[in-house]
């Protein structure tokens, strides 16, 4: 089959609905999807019937409400279509009620105190803005997930709320510009997904990869990424076969997989989609990660989505390309063809600048995980300090506006916003700054701090909410202005002056920038998850998120608990795995090789043969074994101490300040021992085996 034939063949999309639904039903559903109109129960019944018939024709036998709980993954409970018939056989049924709402057991999903442990009920509610799809033999219906009391237990619900918030506030701004024809503003996202592929058999021999998704031990191999020969290099046949298979599976689900290539680190690759509505893009990215893993097993591979699976080489991120557009097809972050359109663009641009500056802590904590803490600030990822890159032309324009000076571009005119003196300018052609956490790239912003395993919902919830809050405040000021043009000019100018500290067009990897950012500009440098998560309960942040109706207070407090709990549990598993591997694998290997050398040394001494090599190495291995044993005991005791704690904030700080440093102390002698232990004795595959094992 050709790509056009298979694309979205397993999706109950607009084309299928138009063909299978009665005209009135289709039109009513479209009003719900595009305009937010209430869903008519009669429409739901008709949609359910058509959806069931379509799914059964495609070979589906079950249906599920597919949702995204606060585990960071997706969840599903399958129910079959079959119902008993009077003749003792079965019929295939699926009602409107079953489409609209489900009731999966919520008892084992994290809730952060939103419900009591003994309360099992959770409810799923159909999200008609995201198309249903077939996965295997199951019809998957994208849904929101909430508690018995209505609080959000998932990532989709607050995401949809944030999209409503930015729509409300952006429309207020557009009305001031006379855009009465615009009915809706949506945000769009294109997440570029980085990942590693390793051989499955090699993977199975590494307990750390099996339990934690990253290597906890591993000496640097003779060759890493120094030659940059893997980046955009020829794709190996085995990897290409995987990519071809992956594309087929994604295209069937209507996922716009567009670009594939080798990344910088050995065994690292990237998949980039065409960007689409944020809600759908989030669903698609969750599906993409799931399918990437499943397809890998068909090829004897394992797909690693951890942010830092290997020390010393690049980690993996997920570049979140974000923009705003109207239902009339106008990208609000794209310079226009007229001065009037350009001033509208500049207002939305400075709104984003202000939002990122005022709510930088929320953007940072939206990507905070134990895995991403290892990546941020490393030599291939943006630092933990948030800054915005604009490029030369936009920077020059903003500087001219702030100084009320001539713009030194193609037209040397003093910039007076709101009148024809504003010069025309094209989208910036400056080279993209890969070191910036938040870079303007022509008609969108690229948020580069999102981790490869993260749900993009979290980052986009915070970004949407922050921009909505700023647009709302700007609308408040402009709506009551007597002279709109003058008020607009003053607002843009004062916003630039107040928030220019967040703009940085230089090298984000430079230590001098971090010092400047924190000491001179007053920007936050939140290096770890506990550092960042404290800001979720900051009064200003809570008031903004609740004011935009994105979260309730209880939902925010629950997310604080859940995110720190996930952080603690992840690192605790890593610490216990290190202790286990050190005691059961590494120490026996080092001691065994040392004993073999000591035996050889004794034999040589008896013969009076020179044995300097053996003597030196036996002493070194013996010393390393003692260091490993001592560091293992220390880490084991710390994990026992951690297990006695009850306060989640105290636990997270203990992880950060005690357990993670102790893990580093244990790793150092283990990695050194690997470098001087015979490969015949070393108990698991090395970095070289993992990074270069797929041929």
Q: What CATH number is attached to the domain comprising 428?
A: 3.30.590.10
Parallel, antiparallel or unpaired: strands 62-66 and 138-147: parallel
The string of pLDDT tens digits covering residues 326-364 is 999 999 998 876 655 688 999 999 999 999 999 999 999
Q: How many CB atoms lie within 10 A of CB 125?
A: 17
| Domain contains 649 | yes
| Domain contains 35 | yes
Residue 233: the pLDDT is 82
The string of pLDDT tens digits covering residues 554-592 is 999 999 999 999 999 999 999 999 999 999 999 999 999
Do 113 and 196 fall into the same domain?
A: no
SS3 label, residue 522: coil
Mean pLDDT of 2-11: 92
Query: Is residue 30 scored above 60 in pLDDT?
Result: yes
Query: Is residue 414 scored above 60 in pLDDT?
Result: no
Do 441 and 585 fall into the same domain?
A: no
Q: How many CB atoms lie within 10 A of CB 336?
A: 16
Residue 687 near residue 671, CB atoms below 8 Å: no
Residue 483: the pLDDT is 93
Query: Is residue 119 scored above 60 in pLDDT?
Result: no
Do 434 and 493 fall into the same domain?
A: yes
Residue 612: the pLDDT is 77
Q: What CA–CA distances, in Å, run from 495 to 349, 415, 470?
A: 10, 16, 11
- pLDDT more than 90, % of the chain: 69
Do 176 and 142 fall into the same domain?
A: no
pTM here? 0.92
Residue 91: the pLDDT is 60
Residue 413: the pLDDT is 43
Do 390 and 480 fall into the same domain?
A: yes
Do 98 and 121 fall into the same domain?
A: yes
CA-only gyration radius of the chain, Å? 28
Place of tokens 């980046």: 231
| Domain contains 556 | no
Do 361 and 427 fall into the same domain?
A: yes
Do 399 and 537 fall into the same domain?
A: yes
Mean pLDDT of 387-407: 85
Q: Which residues pair with 102 in a beta bridge?
A: 124
**Residue at a domain's end among 136, 153, 170:** 153
Residue 412: the pLDDT is 43
Parallel, antiparallel or unpaired: strands 301-304 and 138-147: unpaired
Do 36 and 19 fall into the same domain?
A: yes
Comparing C-alpha atoms, which of 278, 328, 72 is closest to residue 166? 278
Comparing C-alpha atoms, which of 200, 301, 209 is closest to residue 246? 301
Do 120 and 167 fall into the same domain?
A: no
Residue 124: the pLDDT is 85
| Domain contains 51 | yes
Place of tokens 């310079």: 335
Q: How far apart are CA 454 and CA 366, in angstroms?
A: 9
Query: Is residue 366 scored above 70 in pLDDT?
Result: yes
**Residue at a domain's end among 528, 551, 574:** 551
Do 131 and 210 fall into the same domain?
A: no
Query: How many CA atoms are closer than 13 Å to the CA of 318, on its beta-carbon side?
Result: 29
| Domain contains 299 | yes
| Domain contains 557 | no
- Supply the CATH number for residue 620's domain: 1.20.120.1560
Name the domain count of the chain: 3
The string of pLDDT tens digits covering residues 232-288 is 788 999 999 999 999 999 999 999 888 888 988 999 999 999 989 999 999 999 999
23: containing domain: 3-153
Residue 111: the pLDDT is 64
**Residue at a domain's end among 551, 580, 613:** 551
Q: What is the mean pLDDT of the chain?
A: 89
- Supply the CATH number for residue 69's domain: 3.10.20.70
Q: How far apart are CA 117 and CA 110, in angstroms?
A: 10
Residue 202 near residue 209, CB atoms below 8 Å: no
Residue 394 near residue 440, CB atoms below 8 Å: yes
| Domain contains 466 | yes
Residue 609: the pLDDT is 72
Query: Is residue 116 scored above 90 in pLDDT?
Result: no
Residue 96: the pLDDT is 75
Residue 166: the pLDDT is 98
Residue 107: the pLDDT is 59
Do 489 and 424 fall into the same domain?
A: yes
| Domain contains 560 | no
The string of pLDDT tens digits covering residues 61-107 is 999 999 888 887 888 888 888 776 665 555 666 777 888 777 666 55
Residue 115: the pLDDT is 53
Residue 380: the pLDDT is 60
The string of pLDDT tens digits covering residues 444-498 is 999 999 999 999 999 999 999 999 999 999 999 999 999 999 999 999 999 999 9
Query: Is residue 531 scored above 80 in pLDDT?
Result: yes
């Amino acid at each position: 089959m050709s790509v056009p034939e298979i694309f979205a063949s397993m999706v109950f999309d607009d084309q299928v609905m138009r063909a299978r639904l009665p005209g009135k039903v289709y039109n009513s559903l479209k009003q719900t999807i595009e305009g937010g109109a209430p869903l008519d129960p009669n429409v739901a019944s008709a949609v359910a019937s058509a959806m069931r018939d379509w799914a059964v024709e495609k070979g589906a036998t079950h249906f599920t409400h597919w949702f995204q709980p606060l585990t960071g993954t997706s969840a599903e409970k399958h129910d079959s279509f079959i119902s008993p018939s009077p003749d003792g056989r079965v019929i295939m049924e699926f009602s409107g009620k079953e489409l609209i709402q489900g009731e999966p057991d919520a008892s084992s999903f994290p809730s952060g105190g939103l419900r009591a442990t003994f309360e099992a009920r959770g409810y799923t509610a159909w999200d008609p803005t995201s198309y249903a799809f077939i996965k295997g033999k199951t019809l998957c219906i994208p849904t929101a997930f909430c508690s018995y009391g209505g609080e959000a237990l998932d990532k989709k619900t607050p995401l949809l709320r944030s999209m409503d918030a930015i729509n409300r506030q952006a429309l207020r701004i557009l009305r001031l510009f006379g855009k009465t024809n615009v009915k809706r503003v949506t945000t769009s996202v294109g997440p570029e997904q980085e990942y590693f592929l390793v051989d499955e058999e090699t993977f199975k021999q590494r307990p750390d990869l099996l339990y934690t998704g990253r290597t906890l031990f591993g000496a640097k191999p003779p060759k890493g990424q120094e030659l940059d020969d893997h980046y955009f290099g020829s794709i190996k046949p085995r990897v290409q076969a995987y990519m071809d298979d992956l594309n087929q599976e994604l295209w069937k689900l209507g996922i716009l997989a567009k670009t594939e290539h080798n990344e910088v680190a050995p065994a690292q690759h990237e998949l980039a989609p065409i960007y689409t509505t944020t809600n759908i893009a989030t669903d698609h990215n969750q599906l993409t990660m799931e399918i990437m893993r499943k397809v890998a097993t068909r090829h004897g591979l394992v797909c690693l989505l951890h942010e830092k699976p290997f020390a010393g080489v690049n980690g993996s991120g997920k570049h979140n390309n974000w923009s705003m557009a109207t239902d009339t097809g106008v990208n609000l972050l794209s310079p226009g063809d007229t001065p009037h359109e350009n001033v509208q663009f500049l207002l939305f641009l400075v709104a984003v600048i202000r939002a990122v500056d005022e709510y930088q802590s929320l953007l940072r904590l939206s990507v905070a995980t134990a895995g991403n803490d290892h990546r941020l600030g490393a030599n291939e990822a943006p630092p933990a300090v948030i800054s915005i890159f604009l490029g030369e032309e936009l920077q020059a324009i903003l500087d001219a506006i702030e100084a009320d000076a001539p713009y030194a571009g193609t037209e040397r005119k003093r910039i007076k916003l709101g009148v024809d003196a504003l010069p025309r300018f094209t989208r910036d052609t400056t080279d993209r700054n890969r070191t910036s956490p938040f870079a303007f790239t022509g008609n969108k912003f690229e948020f580069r701090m999102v981790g490869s395993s993260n749900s993009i919902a979290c980052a986009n919830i915070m970004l949407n909410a922050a921009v909505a809050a700023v647009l709302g405040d700007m609308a408040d000021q402009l709506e009551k202005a007597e002279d709109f043009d003058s008020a607009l000019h003053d607002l843009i100018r004062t916003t630039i002056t107040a928030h220019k500290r967040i703009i940085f067009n230089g090298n984000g990897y430079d230590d001098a920038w971090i010092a400047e950012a924190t000491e001179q500009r007053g920007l936050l440098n939140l290096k770890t998850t506990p550092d960042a998560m404290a800001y979720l309960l900051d009064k200003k942040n809570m008031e903004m998120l609740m004011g935009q109706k994105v979260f309730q207070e209880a939902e925010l407090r629950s997310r604080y608990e859940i995110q720190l709990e996930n952080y603690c549990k992840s690192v605790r598993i890593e610490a216990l795995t290190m202790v286990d591997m050190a005691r059961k694998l590494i120490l026996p290997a080092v001691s065994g090789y040392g004993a073999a050398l000591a035996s050889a040394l004794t034999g040589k001494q008896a013969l009076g043969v020179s044995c300097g090599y053996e003597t030196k190495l036996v002493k070194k291995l013996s010393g390393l074994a003692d260091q490993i044993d001592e560091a293992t005991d220390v880490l084991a005791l710390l994990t026992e101490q951690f297990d006695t704690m009850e306060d989640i904030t105290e636990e997270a700080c203990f992880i950060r300040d005690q357990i993670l440093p102790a893990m580093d102390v244990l790793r150092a002698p283990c990695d050194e021992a690997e470098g001087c232990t015979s490969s015949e004795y070393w108990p698991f595959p090395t970095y070289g085996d993992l990074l270069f094992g797929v041929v």
